[in-house]
Amino acid sequence: MIDINLIRTNAELVRENIKKKFQDEKLPLVDEVLELDKKNRELKNEGDNLRASRNSLSSQIGLLMKEGKKDEAEAIKAQVTENKQRLEQIEKEQAEIDAKIKKAMMIIPNIVDSSVPVGKDDSENVEIERFGEPKVPDFEIPYHADILDSFCALDKESAGRTSGTGFYYLMGDGARLVSAMLSYARDFMINKGFTYCIPPFMIRGDVVNGVMSFAEMDAMMYKIEGEDLYLIGTSEHSMIGKFKDQIISEKSLPITMTSYSPCFRKEVGAHGIEERGIYRVHQFEKQEMIVICKPEDSMKWYNKMWSYSVELFRSLNIPVRTLECCTGDLADLKVKSCDIEAWSPRQQKYFEVCSCSTLGDAQARRLGIRIKGENGNYFAHTLNNTVLASTRALIGLLENNLQPDGSVIIPEPLRMYMGGKEKIEPIK
């Protein structure tokens, strides 16, 4: 959510930003907010004048009564009563207008950074840099579900009976490998100075509204029936929500945290749920990182955060690239975002494994996260990035470390979490 002062002082910038995001249907909201805000300020001025008049008139009543001017005093009493009734009406109108303004402001997208390329959708995202050589071996790389089947590590048929499409059982070395990757990702971030946290896996509706747009919520979140609780789609939601309505001392910044959680997603949209594999599913596990910092430090942390993901995946022998998200692919609260994509030797193309974003003060403004500075309080900046998402990272690891005999070399950093095991071999 942007500052309403920006609409008051530079409405054209807000309109141009909406156009850059190809959301012209939202343009009327700018004029709607301006009109409502004007009416609100007029009501405020009227209310302030009435309150001042009430105080003045009230002081006159006592004097007139002392002087025996009862009729005049009664007339002023009537005026005070009339003013009170009008004030109550004004306050009611202001509350209604405030609600309308907030509703519109929650829909108007955040101002994107000037460096973000303009484009309609993810097909117009821009490659920034490649890390590691994307190789295609001289033997066939099977589909990742078939690789897991060769280790007796994946059972989607049973999960279909218990839970439906989009769920899975990971077993044996497949499950152990996922646990190893998550443990490694946890320790990797702790070694970067981040504080480890296991957050709540359910959050209230006001927190959901604070961390994401309505469109994202509808497409992602599972609601708990009969309760004001949602299953988290990523631990960023509850990690940022941890600081709701808090005033943070400048001296304690930056706050850097890494969190583990399961993630639950409806995955509503054009892509659909994957029938055989585990690329797009309703449930997975993830190690996340979040930063809360001063506005002037947010871009520095943005660049640090995506570089950590690149470093981690390269340590697992997975080539990656960074992809700048264009304006049309940015969620409404984001200022700037990039995807980290892993190389798939089977498909001979890259696929998304991480997403790093800075949201400016949008989440902080919605959730009331302020910083206490020397010259007063101001809104914090929030950032988030995937450290490692279990299912997609597993696909990248299997494909890039597969051997001609069907075995998979376990990257050296993971071996301590696998009991010293150096490779996984097919079960004959």
Q: One-letter amino acid identity for 229?
A: L
Q: How far is CA 188 from CA 184, 191, 383, in A?
A: 6, 5, 18
CB-count burial class (<10 Å; 0-12, 13-18, 19+) for 121: exposed
Per-residue tokens: 105: 């402001």
Measure Cα distances from 153 to 68, 176, 377, 420 in Å: 96, 10, 53, 19
pLDDT value for 52: 77
Long-range contacts of 319-322 (CB under 8 A, 24+ apart): 319/130, 319/131, 319/132, 319/133, 319/134, 319/135, 319/343, 319/400, 320/130, 320/131, 320/132, 320/350, 320/353, 321/127, 321/128, 321/129, 321/130, 321/131, 321/350, 322/127, 322/128, 322/129, 322/131
Task: Give the separation between CA 296 and CA 270, rounded to whole angstroms.
Answer: 38
Residue 99 φ/ψ region, left for φ over 0, alpha for ψ in the -120 to 50 degree band, beta for the rest? alpha
Please report, for the chain, the start and end positions of each structural domain, with discontinuous segments joined by +. 4-107, 122-424
Architecture (CATH level 2) of domain 4-107: Orthogonal Bundle (1.10)
Vertex 98 angle, CA 96 and 103, to 5°: 100
User: What is the C-alpha to C-alpha distance for residues 331 and 212, in angstroms, rounded to an integer?
Assistant: 8
Provide the pLDDT for residue 50. Answer: 81
Per-residue confidence (pLDDT) for residue 74, from 0 to 100: 63
Class of domain 122-424: alpha beta
Residues of the chain predicted below pLDDT 70: 54-68, 70-71, 73-74, 268-274
Residue 75 is predicted with a pLDDT of: 73
Its pTM stands at 0.89
Q: Would you say 235 and 259 are in contact if contact means Cβ atoms under 8 Å apart?
A: yes
**Is-contact 132 343, C-beta < 8 A?**
yes
CA-CA distance, 388 to 186, in Å (whole number)? 9
